[in-house]
Structure 1
Amino acid sequence: MLKVQKMLVGAMARLDDAMVLNLVKQGLQMGINPYVLLEEVRAGTERVGELYNKGEYFLSDLIMAAEIFKDVLEMVSKVSKGKNRTTPLVSPYSPVIFGTVENDIHDIGKNITIGILRYSGFSVWDLGVDVPAAAFVEAAKRCQSRIICLTGLITESYDSMKKTVQLLDEAGLRGRMTLIIGGLVNEVVRQYTGADYWSTDCRKVLELCRTISTGNEMKAQSL
């Protein structure tokens, strides 16, 4: 089993889509937890991002990595449904509003995180990219959600995040919302925007959403 998992990370890093899908299929047949397989594919995707930052991969490679991940997620979801692992009609989790903020169109990390959230039982409102602050406010009014995830990969997105937080406050919604920012962010950016949490790791975002949506804010503080 460990051999399949290690090979999966390497195949994803090489963008060998046929090998990735074949290894995932083998892993499922061997009884490996689907979430473990998704984690290995995600780790391989991170390597693609690292190679992109080094100038060894290009934007088209990042897009291809996102497409491979999407195919893996669809395969895992189909197999899981066949084994009666379906998302319950009433999810135990709060819906999550998710979007790339205004002036930014990057969505690879967003799409991967949304895929993992949905696989894990969350209902996600995907607002897309270049989303105006007012659109997040409108979604918060329409959706009984406690969580909004804002993402951005350029510095211009920081002001858009800050504006979104301010508009939520002006609309009287900030008090019931927990805001998580992701992308090219850190603690300094979190403080500047007024968000509650920041993360560059989709696994941490998943755990944050789980703990926040079940009302365990104290546990979320330690994540």
Structure 2
Amino acid sequence: MLKIQKMLVGAMARLDETMVMNLVKQGLQMGINPYVLLEEIRIGTDRVGELYSKGEYFLSDLIMASEIFKDVLTLVNQDRVVTAVVSYPTVIFGTVEDDIHDIGKNITTGIMRYNGFDICDLGVDVPGPKFIEAIEKYNSRVVCLTGLITEAFDSMKNTIALLKEAGLRSRTTVIIGGLVNESVKNYTGADYWATDCTKVNELCRNILVNNKRIMQSS
């Protein structure tokens, strides 16, 4: 089983879609937890992002990685046996205004949907008022703002300021994701920051199900 997981990471990093799909099918047949397979795909996608940042991959490669992940998610969901799951309140996601990067967001929302979360994905280049509308519409307690460029930091900060103006900040937990860290969290006024879907999943579960806040760690 471990061999398949390691091979999945490499195949995804090479953007070998045929190999990725075959390995996922083998993993499912062997009874490997689908979430484990999705996590290996995520790690491989992270490597694609690293190669892109080094100039070895291009935008088209990032798009291809996103498409492969979508195909894997479809395959995994087809194989899924639906059982009683926890009903999570809606979590709002969106790439903030002035940013159109969405691969990490799409992977995170895909995995969270698989885990039973109800997701409202507003898309990319989302202005602050759209987040406010969605939070009010779904009575959401968690909003995830994502961005991969420095201009996104001001958009995140402005969106959080709008939450305060609308009287929603005290009841809304804000998680920022993408190219972020503790300094960006402090600058924007967010509650948490995360750079991978596992962390976002954990944060949302603790906030919405266990009704508790956890200490942020870098």
1:150 correspondence with 2:145: yes
Per-residue CA deviations over 1:169-222 (Å, capped at 9, x if unaligned) read 11111111000001111111111111100011111011001001124334x225
Q: After TM superposition, give the deviation of residue 54 of structure 1 in Å.
A: 1.1
1:171 correspondence with 2:173: no
Equivalent in the alignment of 1:76: 76
| Ranges of 4+ aligned residues in structure 1 off by more than 3 Å | none
Equivalent-residue separation in structure 2 for 1:202 and 1:31 (angstroms): 23
Q: After TM superposition, give the deviation of residue 98 of structure 1 in Å.
A: 0.2
Q: Give the alignment of 1:1-223 within 5 angstroms.
A: 1-80=1-80, 83-85=81-83, 88=85, 91-218=86-213, 220-221=214-215
Equivalent-residue separation in structure 2 for 1:37 and 1:29 (angstroms): 12
Structure 1 vs Structure 2: percent identity of aligned residues?
A: 69
Root mean square deviation of aligned Cα: 1.2
Equivalent-residue separation in structure 1 for 2:50 and 2:99 (angstroms): 20
Q: After TM superposition, give the deviation of residue 8 of structure 1 in Å.
A: 0.8
TM-score by length of 2: 0.96
Matched residue SS, 1:28: helix
Matched residue SS, 1:195: coil
Q: After TM superposition, give the deviation of residue 84 of structure 1 in Å.
A: 3.0
Aligned residue pairs total 217
Equivalent-residue separation in structure 2 for 1:112 and 1:201 (angstroms): 9
Per-residue CA deviations over 1:51-109 (Å, capped at 9, x if unaligned) read 111111111101100110110011001100xx334x75xx4322100000001111000
Equivalent-residue separation in structure 1 for 2:28 and 2:166 (angstroms): 47
* Unaligned runs of at least 5 residues, structure 2: none
Moved more, 207-216 or 159-168: 207-216
* Unaligned runs of at least 5 residues, structure 1: none
